[in-house]
Every structure is written in C-alpha cells, then in structure tokens.
Amino acid sequence: MNQTTETPQPTNAELVAQVVGAVTAVQDAEAVLVEGAKNLADHIADPNAHGRDVAACIAQAVADHDGNTGAHAGTFVKSDDVRLSDARTPKPHKATHGTAGSDPISPSDIGAAEASHTSVAATASVLGHVKLGTVAGTACEGNDARLVDARTPIEHKATHQTGGTDALTPADIGAAPASHTNVAATASVLGHVKFGTTAGTACEGNDARLSDARTPTAHTHTKSQLSDLGNATDAAVGLVRGDGVTTTVSNGAMSVIASVEATANSIVKRDASGNIVGNITGHATWADLAEVYRADGPLEEGDVVRVSPDDGFDVARAVPGSPVLGVVSLRPGVLLNCGAKDEPLHYAVARVGVVPVKVFGPVAKGARLTAGEDGKAVASPDGTGFAFANENKRDEAERLVMCIL
C-alpha cells in the first residue's frame, strides 16, 4: 500500500516573518536601485556619457520599476495601480462554478431547485408541475371559457325546492306561504276575499251600486240641510210629513201641492177658484206691511210718497198739502206684490206699521207728521197727519226717525 507523506504547512507567525523579511529586502533593494538610477542619470546627462543605448536601458529599467502595464515578473506595483481596484471586471470563469468546476455552486446556493424537480407532478399533497387542461390533474388556463361570469348555469332548481340541498323559503323570495291562499280576510286579518254583495265579500269595480246615477233610497232632510234649495234646477222631494204633501223645486221656484184643505197641522192648498182656505198666523222680523209700487223716479229709504199724478206711474214724492200714501221701506215685515220688487223703479211702500221716515226739523215723540217739501215729513201744525213720531228729534237737520204709520 502506498502512503502519502504530507508536507507540514508553516504557521501564520512563520508566514508573517517570511513576508516581513521579503518586504525589508525589497525596500533595501529599492533604495539601492533608486540611488543607482540617480547616479546613472547624472552620468547620462554628462556630455561624456556612454551614449543613448545606456540611457534607453536605464529608462526601460525605471519603467519596469514603476510598474507600467506589461511589467515583468519580479517588479513592483504602485499603490494606485488600476489592477488593484475591486471594481475591475473579472475574467470569464463560470466553468469554475459548474458542477465539476473548482468552485462549484449548488442549486440551493442561488435559490434554485434541483433539475429533477421539473419531472415532479403536482398532487393534493405535493408541490409540483402541472399541464393546462380540463381534466383531473391539470390546471385551468386563464382564458378558459368556464371562467366567465356570463356562462349559463346548469339546471339546479331541485336544489332550491323544499327538501333540496339549498332549499328556499317563501320569505327568501318575498312570497307568502301556500297556505295563505286559504286565509279569508276579516276586519282584523289580512286575507283573500270573493266578489259579492254580502258581508265578507268585496264590491267589484263595475258594481252598479258604485254609480253616481243610482236612485237614492227614501230619506229626510232638515231645513238647514236644504240651505241651497234655491239653487236647485229640477228636483222633487217628499216632505217629512206623511200627509201626501209634495214639494217641487224647478228652476229655483218652489211649488207645494197639498192634498187637504183647512186641516190642523197640514199645509193649506188653493181651492178650485185659486183661493187659500185657512187661518194664517205668521211672524215678521220688521214691523211694517208694504206693497210694491212703480215710482216716477229714484226713491230712498224713508221718502214720503203720494199717488202719482201721471198715469204711467203709481207713486211720486209727496209735497206739502198732498195726501200721503206711505213711506219707502227697505225691510218690510210683510211684502205684497213682491213679484215686481226687482223691476226698475219699483219700491216697497209701507202702508202700516213702524218704519223709518225722513223728518226735517224738530219733532216730539207722539207728535203727528205731515208731508213737507220733496218727500220729507215735518211736524203737523194742526195735529193732523199720516204718522206719529216714535222718538224725539230736536235738531233742524234732516234724518231718519222711527215713526208709526
């Protein structure tokens, strides 16, 4: 068997001592060379020098000593030589890092996987490689049609039915339970109804009872409820009384047809001659009885009038000494010939009762009044006249005074 004898390696201290010795020797040699070079330079500068060949040799020696590019072995390098920079580009040397190189790098050294990993297939428990495809053990490609949101889902309603794997309740889709179709509506329960005309049914939209034209059933009204009766155009209303009386309103005018004559608690009617038979008792707000006459000119309340001397008129303002027919009244208690009251120059003339009268000059209450100028009344000088003053008047000015006709 061959045995290999290993040469003992020097220690660090020994290596340092050797380097120090070498450096000292180099420094000594350098000093000698420099001194010699200076002497040579002085010699070359001498006109008696040995010639240019010697100078050239010396220049080459100095260049070698200065460490120029292409320096020979055994020469020195300056401290600022570019070859000493860490930034210099290394020579190609990847082969040294190859698997069989002198300085091999493993896959893990550079964060790589073993070459054999390219053959490892991925599984549920193993990290590995896959192929693109649509079957088990393959990966879905990025533009696979199955990845779009617009694809049609497979039929799956059975999963949402009652008892399905993903069952929906009526409330989930805003619906009521099927049992709700049998719930009948009541005053307190929301439910279903049938159309009809009895209790518990609903009135259909075209039910005849919804028409405004239907005939109302028999009913009664109080006087206050008939406040607009004067505006009625054509109507017939049976009165509350059961005595056969019918009241008809046509174009704002009312007519009463009665079936009895002078009977207590009934409405009177005219007889065959148009006369009213019965006793009439009434109440009036004002205390005069007046009749409508046509005047020969405009009149005012309280004007004293006489019979007009013109055939075309009924009354005219009274003058001193003329007989007095009455006094113009704006609010008579009872009005006769009322159909003509709205015609031009037609006025209600009080014939009897209490009424305001235009009086000129002073007059004492109870004094008689007679006709004065232009339809005014004045105190009678002889105690005769058409009316009695019902209040005292002490001034001379004309004004209305309540009088009794």
pLDDT digits (tens, 9 = 90+) for 338-386: 888 889 999 999 999 999 999 999 999 999 999 999 999 999 999 899 9
- Position 388 scores a pLDDT of 96
d(CA 10, CA 358): 165
Looking at residue 219, what is its pLDDT? 76
What number is the average pLDDT over the span 154-162? 87
Residue given tokens 């009080």 in the structure block: 350
- Check whether 84 has a pLDDT greater than 80: no
Q: What is the C-alpha separation between 221 and 240, in angstroms, rounded?
A: 8
Q: Residue 319: pLDDT above 90?
A: yes
Is-contact 359 369, C-beta < 8 A?
yes
The per-residue DSSP string of 296-325 comes to SS---TT-EEEE-SSTT-SEEE--TTSPP-
- Look at 103-107, 181-185, 221-225, 306-310 and tell me which has the smallest mean pLDDT: 221-225
Local structure of residue 43 (DSSP, 8 states) = H
User: What is the average pLDDT across 271-284?
Assistant: 61
HEC string for 65-119: HHCCCCCCCCCCCCCCCHHHCCCCCCCCCHHHHCCCCCCCCCHHHHCCCCHHHHH
- The answer to whether residue 19 scores a pLDDT higher than 70 is yes
pLDDT in tens, 55-71: 566 566 655 555 444 45
Closest CA to 405 of 364, 370, 363: 370
* Strands, E assignment, 312-361: 315-317, 326-328, 334-336, 346-359
Residue 371: how many other CB atoms lie within 10 Å: 23
Domains, in order of start, for the chain: 22-111 (no CATH), 220-273 (no CATH), 288-404 (2.40.300.10)
Q: Is pLDDT above 50 for 131?
A: yes
Closest by CA to 242, choosing from 260, 269, 217, 229, is: 260
**What kind and span of H or E run contains 235?**
strand 234-238
Report which of 163, 160, 183 is spatially closest to residue 173, judged by C-alpha positions. Answer: 160
Q: Which residues pair with 403 in a beta bridge?
A: 355, 389
User: Which candidate, 221, 247, 244, 243, places its Cα nearest to that of 235?
Assistant: 247
Spatial CB neighbours of 191, under 8 Å, sequence gap ≥ 6: 180, 183, 184, 185
Max mean pLDDT range (76-80, 85-89, 171-175, 214-218): 171-175
Q: How many residues does the chain have?
A: 405
Give percent of the chain above pLDDT 70: 73
Average pLDDT over all residues of the chain: 78
Handedness of CA 304, 307, 313, 314 (dihedral sign): positive
Query: Mind listing the pLDDT tens digit for each residue in 41-59?
Result: 776 666 555 555 555 665 6
Q: Full-prediction pTM beyond 0.75?
A: no
Residue 185 has pLDDT above 50, yes or no: yes
The residues, any chain, with a CB within 8 Å of residue 211's CB and separated by 6 or more, are: none
Looking at residue 206, what is its pLDDT?
Answer: 86
